[in-house]
Amino acid sequence: MNRWTPRTVAAALCLLSMPLAGGAARAADAARAEEIVQGQCSICHGPDGENSTPAFPRLAGQNAVYVARQLAAFKTGVRRSPTMQPMVAELSEADFAALGAWYASRPTHVHPVEDPGLAVAGRALWTVGNTPAGVPACAICHGADGHGGEAIPRLAGQHAMYVYRQLKQFGGRDTTRDNASMHLIASRLSDADMRAVSAFVSGMK
């Protein structure tokens, strides 16, 4: 008996085409993300997630899951930002995932540190923390290389000014970002600590 009935042939073709469909879906997601980025995001975050002014965070190489979660948080207002909320109001969860994957895949670059002296002081805080003040090493969570992970943002190469502002907001509980660890840690940093560690991470690769 011939086992290749039309039904088995259809099933086999379907199986064969599955990886192709996956690839096509990813390509469609990437194209959609590219369209959104160049149309709505590049003016502040740069055409490649990199070439932004210091007021806006770099996104090239940022973790895909982290980016998607932040975008969802801006939409619901969990992370309140009058600038970002309208940017994502019309976008879907699928768009957020596609944008996350797109930014994560952009190449990162090494940036000169504006104040190398400050960065030297920041390195100690990053690698060993400040035990008397109750500050753990940032590297414990953000990674020795500052590349972060799904729950934790990449800080390597981030604009010092953006990092400093986020620390200020966490420390003063002047943010709706709901992260107990960062609130506690930042509340124990002096202004000089914040400036130093921000300078240090901005020069990490």
Q: Which has the closest alpha carbon to 192: 103, 124, 136? A: 124
- Rounded CA-CA distance 164/192 in Å is 10
Identify which range of 15-23, 104-112, 113-121, 160-168 contacts ligand HEC by CB under 6 A.
160-168
Question: Which parts of 83-179 fold into alpha helices (H)?
Answer: 84-88, 93-104, 116-128, 138-142, 160-171
Site string for ligand HEC, 31-70 (x = CB under 6 A): -----x---xx-xxx----------xx-x-------x--x
- Asked if residue 196 binds ligand HEC (CB under 6 A), the reply is no
Identify which range of 5-13, 21-29, 79-87, 110-118 contacts ligand HEC by CB under 6 A.
79-87
- Asked if residue 179 binds ligand HEC (CB under 6 A), the reply is yes
Count CB neighbours of 42 within 10 A: 15
CB neighbours of 167 closer than 8 A, spacing ≥ 6? 186, 189, 194, 197, 198
Q: Which of 47, 48, 81, 124 binds ligand HEC (CB under 6 A)?
A: 81
Residue type, 162: Y
Give the binding site for ligand HEC (CB under 6 A): 36, 40-41, 43-45, 56-57, 59, 67, 70-71, 81, 83-84, 87-88, 99, 125, 135-136, 138, 140-142, 151-153, 155, 163, 166-167, 177, 179, 181-182, 185, 197
